[in-house]
């Protein structure tokens, strides 16, 4: 199975050993960040630093002049990734024999929410989520679509992986996060992620819902949860119990359609900007109402739009199954363009022990993922992992 290791430009630039170290793992590809959210990251082997603080979401290359005067617009990075940091790292990785694909984070941007609060998701209580741009707003959709094309199609890249191309909601680790006091469960997370900005209010209205009444219904449904008197888990069935099945279905129809049309537009924009053969993958979750970095999608739909998906498998590879079933059905019915190769189903495993990964079981985990339909591996994250973790990855890829 082809394997790709995630990496940041600051892991590579200034460290002459980094490209050969990554190639030496046995990976054929590096998935290199070109647009990324704020983070604080270890660089345990870098000769100049041990901690990099990316203070805000930024593009890791000089943004194009066409952004002048636009709102929203991408922010250039600071000293943590100066100049064309992506381009410099991509060239070094290619020289080591690695194929380079871009890693593009889209609807996750706290700097945008801080500078332009009106772009953010607003919950039923009126609280804004500055890390979560609302993907229903026309200007935000145009920004995300154009950013996808620019950040994906960088010189030296032969493909891209688009992260958070969908709804973002409550679930987001923030600085000194203190939101785990009440167990919201899957259903409560959905209700707390429903957006009530003007664009979403209008969207609910088009689905026959009064936005004010819906917000009140969400607050009423959650009241027992805040008191700890009622569990709110149970997947979509739980959402229906809390909100009422008809109302829940109408909210989901609005949100699913909004995400799908954005995904279609963004992938189309990337393809229009890219050379022939450029691969476009989405980080995806097969449950369409889920929010976050792995955008909730309908598997059959997204595999008819993109070249494949990157699926979170650290907790087990079960999420691969709906995508594998959709891929087989599409091939059987020829419901994908014949000019496209078979869908890529990349199983994404965390290989950093300190972040919950199990690099020591990677060979067995990858074998199980392949049995369930995975065609490739993703390794998160070559720059963050310890030497022992990297050695375990090297052994696993050798065994595979």
Residue 344 belongs to a domain? yes
Residue 206 covered by a domain: no
DSSP string, 169-196: -S----TT----SS--HHHHHHHHH---
- Nearest-10 Cα torsion for 152, 155, 156, 157: 10
373: left (phi over 0), alpha (psi -120 to 50) or beta: left
- Helix and strand numbers, DSSP H then E, in the chain: 14, 14
**How far is residue 78 from each of residues 40, 45, 47, measured CA to CA in Å?**
14, 22, 20
CA–CA separation, 357 and 214 (whole Å):
40
Question: Which stretches of the chain score pLDDT less than 50?
Answer: none
Please, are residues 317 and 350 in contact by the beta-carbon 8 Å criterion?
no
Domain membership flag for residue 51: yes
Residue 269 placed within a domain: yes
Q: If we measure between CA atoms, which residue out of 137, 279, 332 comes closest to residue 145?
A: 137
Could you list the residue range(s) of the whole structural domain that residue 118 is in?
Answer: 2-178+256-399
Domain annotation covers residue 345:
yes
User: Is residue 170 in a domain?
Assistant: yes
Closest CA to 390 of 16, 26, 13: 26
The pLDDT value recorded for residue 327 is 94
pTM of full prediction above 0.75: yes
Count of domains forming the chain: 1
Is residue 189 situated within a structural domain? no
- For residues 317 and 372, is the Cβ–Cβ distance under 8 A? yes
CATH at residue 100: 3.20.20.80
Does residue 246 lie within any of the structural domains?
Answer: no
């Amino acid at each position: 199975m082809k394997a790709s290791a995630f990496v940041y430009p600051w892991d590579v630039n200034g460290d002459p050993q980094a490209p050969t170290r990554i190639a030496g793992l046995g990976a054929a590809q590096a998935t290199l960040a070109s647009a990324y959210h704020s983070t604080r990251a270890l660089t345990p082997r870098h000769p100049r630093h041990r901690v990099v603080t990316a203070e805000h979401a930024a593009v890791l290359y000089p943004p194009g002049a066409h952004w002048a005067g636009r709102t929203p617009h991408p922010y250039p990075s600071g000293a943590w990734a100066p100049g064309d940091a992506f381009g410099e790292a991509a060239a070094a990785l290619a020289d080591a024999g690695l194929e380079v694909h871009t890693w593009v984070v889209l609807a996750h941007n706290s700097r945008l929410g801080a500078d332009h609060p009106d772009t953010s998701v607003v919950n039923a209580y009126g609280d804004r989520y500055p890390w979560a741009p609302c993907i229903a707003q026309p200007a935000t959709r145009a920004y995300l679509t154009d950013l996808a094309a620019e950040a994906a199609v960088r010189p030296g890249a032969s493909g891209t992986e688009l992260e958070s191309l969908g709804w973002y909601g409550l679930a987001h680790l923030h600085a000194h996060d203190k939101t785990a006091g009440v167990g919201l469960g899957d259903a409560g997370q959905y209700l707390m992620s429903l957006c009530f900005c003007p664009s979403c209010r209008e969207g609910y209205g088009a689905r026959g819902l009064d936005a004010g009444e819906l917000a009140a219904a969400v607050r009423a449904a959650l009241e027992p949860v805040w008191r700890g008197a009622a569990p709110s888990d149970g997947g979509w069935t739980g959402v229906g119990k809390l909100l009422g099945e008809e109302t829940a279905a109408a909210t989901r129809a609005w949100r699913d359609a909004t995400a799908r049309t954005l995904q279609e537009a963004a992938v189309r924009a990337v393809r229009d900007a890219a050379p022939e053969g450029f691969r476009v993958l989405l980080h995806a979750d097969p449950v369409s109402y889920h929010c976050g970095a792995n955008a909730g999608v309908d598997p059959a739909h997204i595999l008819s739009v993109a070249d494949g998906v990157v699926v979170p498998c650290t907790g087990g590879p079960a999420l691969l199954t709906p995508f594998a079933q959709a891929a087989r059905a599409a091939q059987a019915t020829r419901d994908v363009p014949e000019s496209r190769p078979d869908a890529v189903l990349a199983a994404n495993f965390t290989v950093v022990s300190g972040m919950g990964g199990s690099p020591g079981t990677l060979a067995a985990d990858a074998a199980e993922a392949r049995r369930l339909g995975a065609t490739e591996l993703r390794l998160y994250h070559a720059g963050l992992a310890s030497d022992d973790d990297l050695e375990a990855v090297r052994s696993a890829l050798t065994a595979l």
